[in-house]
Amino acid sequence: MKTSLVEGGRLLFLVLWLNLVPRGAEGCPVKCVCYSEPRPTVACQQQGLFSIPNEIPVQSQRIFLQSNKLTVVRSTSFSSVHNLTILWMYSNNISHIEAGAFYGLERLEELDIGDNSNLRIISPTAFRGLSKLHTLHLHRCGLSELPVGAFQGLFSLQYLYLQDNNLLALHDDTFLDLANLTYLFLHNNKIKTVSDHMLRGLINLDRLLLHQNRVIYVQPRAFSDLRKLTTLFLFYNNLTVLTGETMDPLGSLQYLRLNGNQWVCDCRARTLWDWFKRFKGSSSELECNVPLELFGKDLKRLKSDDLEGCVETPQIQTQLFSSNLWSGKFPSTEYPLGNGIPRCCLPDNDKSSIISEKTIPDPSSYNSRQITNNPLKEKENISKTKFREQERTKNETTRNKQSLNDGPLGTLSNNLDQSLVQLQDLEPSTAPTRKKKKCTKKPKSDAQCLKGHGSTMQVELSFIFMSIIWFWFSMVMS
């Protein structure tokens, strides 16, 4: 009896050891560590891998391949791991994803292939069949366009990260199948127009970040489906006019940022001014750029009489937004600043181009999250995630995994977007505002300015004349 108990104890110890201790080389790829708890996991991050390992255990549910040197994702790379729920391949050198690379991964919930700057083109069928995917990271991939149908069939998608790319435009109905999408991050791209059908189908979208693009025009029906949107960021674009009719569908909007644009505050701003009278949420300031008498004033605080008539605006040469410096300078092509003319003596129409340059905190490097190298510290409910911005050096893109907790608020950097944590503080603007540079002295008229310059010249001529007379008199006396 005693012998049986001893043997049973040994067997129990062996079973526990096999389940709790990381497995060795057998059944686990070289340079990887495999775990059974909390879920079957293959961890191969930061191993200098040039290709995805072979012989990944078929029971794997999580695979971590971030911060390596992978270049290609082949159609056979994950063909045997049909139980996979989480796949991280960010911060690699991936430039090509073969068709069918994720085929058969019906249980995949999160896919992170962000921070692969050479992944400039994506196949239209790259994500086909991922019906349970709820989080997709495509930030900082050098994408200049998205193919038609790129997100077709992703009915469960809730978080989509497309920031920090080179997107110039988005096709109509790009997000048509994403009825459950709640957070869409498009900031720091090069989008110029928000068309009527670009955002169609996003009926449950809660947060839309379009700041730091080159948006010139938002078409009248662009926000028609966004009736549940609570947060809209369009700051630091090239907008001059936005109609109230465009904003009318946003009945749930609570937080709005439109600062850092070149607003025309005349009759063309009337409908937007009227809309703000009905808007109950928080907003940044909308600084007027023209007419000159309203320069720097907040459009929302103008009086009705201020918006009478339409001014003729000179042709403006826009300086597109830079992620490191936004000067706010739109030099006039008609009245370039002359080097020899004192600033306080410039005609009134020249003063429109005297705008001081200011730097702002750089919100262009918003990352999805920070990662920790210990996958065992991950929380089981991956759908509740909080992503924080990681620090990046000039030549490094290595990220360290931190705890995943609730809320996409953490997708924005702490230095600028405390406004997402304390959105009620958006009034007044949470971003630096541009103020008209004032002269140190009272501006002079042209006549006074020229008279002043003339007086100086007369003094100089008198001095020269007296010197000549004195020299002549000295010669005569000698």
The pLDDT value recorded for residue 240 is: 96
Helix (H/G/I), strand (E/B), else coil: 457: helix
More confident residue, 459 or 89: 89
For residues 34 and 354, give the distance between their C-alpha atoms in angstroms, rounded to a whole number.
Answer: 62
Q: In the predicted model, what is the mean pLDDT of residues 312-334?
A: 40
- Average pLDDT (57-65) is 96
Note the pLDDT of residue 138: 98
Give yes or no for residue 14 having a pLDDT over 50. no
Sequence-separated (6 or more) residues with CB below 8 Å from residue 73: 52, 89, 94, 96, 97, 98, 101, 113
- Cβ–Cβ under 8 Å, residues 219 and 194: yes
Q: What is the reported pLDDT for 470?
A: 74
What pLDDT score was predicted for residue 404? 32
- pLDDT tens by residue, 196-215: 999 999 999 999 999 999 99
Query: What is the mean predicted confidence (pLDDT) over 140-147?
Result: 95
On the question of pLDDT at 383 being above 90, the answer is no
b/e string for 271-304 if b means 16 or more Cβ within 10 A?
bbbebbeebebbbbbbbbbbbeebbebbbbebee
Query: With bands split at pLDDT 50, 70 and 90, how would you rate the model's confidence at 462?
Result: low
Task: Kindly tell me if the per-residue pLDDT of 322 is higher than 60.
Answer: no
Q: What is the pLDDT of residue 1?
A: 45
In angstroms, the CA 51 to CA 372 distance is: 22
pLDDT band (50, 70, 90) for residue 9: low
Cis-peptide, bond into residue 38, ω within 30° of zero: yes
Q: How many CB atoms lie within 10 A of CB 343?
A: 14
Among 103-107, 118-122, 373-377, 403-407, the least confident range: 403-407
Query: 183 — phi, psi (to 5°)?
Result: -130, 120
Give the containing element (helix H, strand E) for 276.
helix 270-278
Q: What is the mean pLDDT of residues 417-443?
A: 43
Residue 478 CA to residue 476 CA, distance in Å, equals: 5
| Res 406 pLDDT > 90 | no
pLDDT at 396: 40
- E strands, 303-348, where? none
**Domains (ranges, CATH) in the chain?**
32-181 (3.80.10.10), 241-336+350-369+414-441 (3.80.10)
> Given pLDDT bands bounded at 50, 70 and 90, which one contains residue 308?
confident
- Highest mean pLDDT among 24-28, 63-67, 329-333, 383-387 belongs to 63-67
Residue 403 has pLDDT above 80, yes or no: no
Average pLDDT over residues 390-405: 38
